[in-house]
Structures are given as structure tokens and as C-alpha cells.
Amino acid sequence: METGTIINQYKIISPIGKGGMGEVYKAHDSRLDREVAIKVLPSGMSSDEDRLRRFELEAKATSALNHPNILTVYDIGEHDGSPFIVAELLEGEELRERLDEGSIPLRKVTEYAQQIVSGLSAAHEKGIVHRDLKPENLFITKDDRVKILDFGLAKLSEPGAVATGSEDHTRKALTNPGVVMGTIGYMSPEQVRGHATDHRSDIFSFGLILYEMITGKRAFQHETMAETMSAILKEEPEEITESNPNISPSLGRIVRRCLEKKPEQRFQSTADLGFALEALSSPTNSSGGFTTGANAAVARTSRSKWIGWAPWVAAAILLLGFLASAPFAVKYIRQPARTEAVPISFSINPPGKSAGFNQLAISPDGSNLAFNALIDGKLLMFLRPMNSLSARMLPGTEGAAGFMFWSPDGRSLGFATSNGKLKRVNLADGTVQNICDFIGDRRGNEGSWGRDGTIIFFVGGQGIMRVPASGGNAVSLPGFEKNEEMLKRWPQFLPDGRHFIYLATDTKKGTSEVMAASVDGGESKRLFSSDSNARYAPSPDGGGHIFFPRWGIARPGV
């Protein structure tokens, strides 16, 4: 369009750019006296009324998001047979331009990644999937804010259409003639196959972008489009530590999880992904490496020799209710080198006129003890540092009836209330957040918080449920729905954050076994028979043990 062209109340000032999905102009909004960006889509887009209607619905939904990391859409319309979008005018550069300038510092990588995921999460919560996430659709403003562009445009393309005309125009050559990438290089395996996609496809595309920001190169880069598509389906990208050995293993695990070929093995929500990214702290050494809060907690335990053994004590304390009159046995996951054990004895007295403890939970680094107690008919949660004799009440935790469990970094506590709500309390500022509502039995210490931000918990009459730690709807974990004949409960995550142990009870035979399973699905593995639940605890040598009670006389060698 020519300079000076009038579209409704918008006057074209100058062209900004163009591509396979249309042309972008700078314009002046005379009604609100502001400068805006107008994207005019190809006229062929309006020929299919159904596609245009779906696009308009998604554009309206996107404009209602009003999220700081999503481009704000002001208006949509049609001019001379071509649909157009009016959006905020941004100053800065595309992420593609930033990547072309060279590597991005790791501190900025995590900052940008968290912003991208925050925007995606807001859209996904509204049922909006991007479907064409790539560096060209991510804009970095002058104040270093990331904006996600072009939500909904991918919906204008026919499902499964990979090598269409618009796609040909969208491709960008890299350094050598014939090296073609563009959108193809950021597709998920299900997109390449032409299968139905959902929010997990965006997570795969995000993983590719995160990989490129970290390493400075694309995860799947080949000579031809066909080779690139084949690589997305069959190949694994080079480990990010190959380009920088100082990169945190935690960050590497996040990238690998995003790039799983099967959608069910990726992060199941951007909320989970966002929590995993938040767990990455700021740089901790001159080499630019990162550490997680959990690793920092391990480092802090060196100040006190006995604290390294506190998780063992924690596991034993959690089983006190079962061990009142019964001997117990310890089953090893891995037999450590034998060293002389140092016994530790201490007592924990309930506060004031408490009627006694209901639940106990020791933090991952062994430095804090959380418990709830019944005082004047009210269940309240308390926190006691292990190097102190006094405990403080945690405001906002009234009615904490069960499911008390720690976050992996030890900064938050999850708990269930007597009115059917799962909550978390941030110990730093005391804020309490509602995670989800549920219906069923709320008794028991039966929740566990994984390292990737997933919480699993047992609800009587429901089975084992799964919910993002950041909040959302709790859903049944596949294979662990309500089953009257085989009761599966007491889940606890193992260190990798993807596998967990639980107790399976055959209600007809009256027998129970401790099993191991994965949140990603698959068959469970039997570990051993047990008369009650088991708890995993790490040991100071890097190994771990499973503690469990056994009624009657303990058999030698167990």
C-alpha cells in the first residue's frame, strides 16, 4: 500500500517489512492518536470463509489476553479483499536478528525463556495454541521484553500443509545456497507428520528455540527440507554441553524434556515448564554456570556434618505412625560403602496446648521441619528450623489436614486443607496460593512435588492425581485412576523427577507391594512386598535408600 493510504481510522506512514504471511506497515490511529502496526494478509486468505472465521475468533481471543509477553492486538478487519490486523507498534529486533549477532549470555537465555513461556502459558490457558513458534515470531523490545507475535496465523494454513506456497516464501537461507530452514526447522514431529497438534507442539518448538539460544546453532539443520524433516522425526540433537561444558545439567534436562519426540513425554503444560525454568537461579560462578536451588541446598549442608543424614531421619519420622509397636526394615536401592554410623537423638514437642502432631515433613536439605498440630480445635501448620528449639506458625495455613510436602528447592510447602483445596505456601514471604480444588478423602501425607514443577497426590475415591505446582486443574494420572480392587496410593517422586514409587494394595488378597512407575506412562515395576507405604531418602554418598515398615519379626538380611 502507498504512503497516505487510509484504512478506517488508520493512515499508512511507511512499510516495515513483508514475508510469506503478509506485509507490515507503520500507521497512525487518528481516533486514539497513536502509532500502530498493521499487518495485511494475502488476499487469498479471505477466500475460505471458515478459515477466516477461525482466524478472527483466535485474533479476538488473543487480543483479550492482555499479557506483557504477547503482542497486543487492537483491531481486525478487511481492506480491498485482504484481511488485516492492527497491533501495538514495537521498537527493537526479532530474536532471529539477535541470534544472528552471535551467542546470547546464559543469564539472558533464561530471562528470555521465562518470558516466552509466561506468554505461552497465558495463551494455552485460554485454549490458544501458536503452532508457528520460531525466532522470527519472537520480538525483543528495546527494554529487553520478549513479545510473541502472530498468534493464530498458523491456523490459516491447511492442517498438515508443510510445503505450501506461503511456506516457500517463509523459508530463509542460512550461510550457503540451498540451506533452507525457516518454519520447517521449528516444527514438532506431529506437525511434520501432519497429525493433530496441541499446546505440547508449542513446547517442542520452544525447546528448539531454547536450544538455539544456548548453543548458537539449530538443533536440526540439514541441506534440504526433506532431510530436516527426517531429522526432527528420527534424530536427537547434539547435547548442549558439547558447546559449553559449564551449562547446568538442570538446563540440559529441561531442553531434552521439551524435545521428546512423543508429546506425552514432554512437559505436559507450559506452567510445568515455567516452574522448571524458575528453579534455575542466577549465575553462581565466573564460568557462567547455573545451579538449582536444590544443588545450592546440598552445598549448604556441608556446614553441618549431621545434616547430610537428616533425610534419613526424615523418612523414619514420616513412618512413626506405623512404627509405634513394630520393628522396621530398610531396603537399599544401592548399597553404599560401610562407614561408622553416628546416632542422633532429639525430641520434638508440639507447641503450646496442642493435641499432638498430625503430619511431619523435613525439608530436602534437612534444615527445616514442617508439621501441623491441632490447637483449640484448629489445624495449623508450623515451621521449625532444625537448629532451633522453637517453631513459628505459618499464617494462611489454617485447616491444613494432610498432603504436606516440600518443593524440591525447599522454598515452598504444599498442603491440603480440610475443605478440599491443595495449596502452597512460599516460606520467604509467607504468601499462600491455591493450586487446585479436589473432591475426596483429604487424609494422609500422600503428595509429592517433582523437579519439573509437577505435583502428584492421592485422593480417596479419585486415585492419584497430577497438577502443575503453579496451579491448574488436577487430572488423573493415566493408569492410576480409581480402582476398588487395586488401590494405588502414597506416591513419592524419585530424584529424576519423572519416576515415583507408590504402594499397590490388592484389596481382595490383602497383600501390598511397593512399585515404581513413570509419570510419562508405561508399566510399573515391582520393587518388594511391604506391609505399608515406603519413603525414599537420599544418602550423603550420593546414593539413596527406601525406608518401609514390616509388621511382626523382621527377617534377617532385609
What is the Cα–Cα distance from 480 to 445, expressed in whole angstroms?
A: 18
DSSP 390-438: --EE-TT-TTEEEEEEE-TTSSEEEEEETTSEEEEEETTT--EEEEEE-
Neighbouring C-beta atoms of residue 550, cutoff 10 Å? 20
Give backbone dihedrals phi and psi of 173, rounded to 5 degrees, phi first: -75, 145
Contact 209, 116 (CB under 8 A): yes
HSE-CB of 193 using CA atoms within 13 angstroms:
12
DSSP H helix total and E strand total for the chain: 11, 28
DSSP code for 173: B
Spatial contact of 323 and 287, defined as CB atoms under 8 Å apart: no
* CA-based nearest residue to 85, from 145, 151, 139: 151
Contact, 521 vs 264, CB < 8 A? yes
- The pairing of beta strand 82-88 with beta strand 34-40: antiparallel
Please give the radius of gyration of the chain, using alpha carbons only, rounded to the nearest integer. 27
Contacts for 257 with CB less than 8 Å, ≥ 6 apart = 207, 265, 266, 267, 276, 452
Q: Are 448 and 456 in contact (CB under 8 A)?
A: yes
CA within 13 Å, CB half, 497 = 22
Q: How far apart are CA 137 and CA 183, in angstroms?
A: 10
Q: What angle do CA 126, 130, 136 make, to 5 degrees?
A: 140
Name the residues annotated as catalytic: 132
CA 494 to chain centre: 17
Using a 10 angstrom Cβ sphere, with 0-12 exposed, 13-18 middle and 19 or more buried, the burial of residue 486 is exposed
The side-by-side arrangement of strands in the sheet containing 34-40 is 6-7, 10-19, 22-29, 34-40, 82-88, 73-79
Instruction: Count CA within 13 A, CB hemisphere, residue 305.
Output: 4
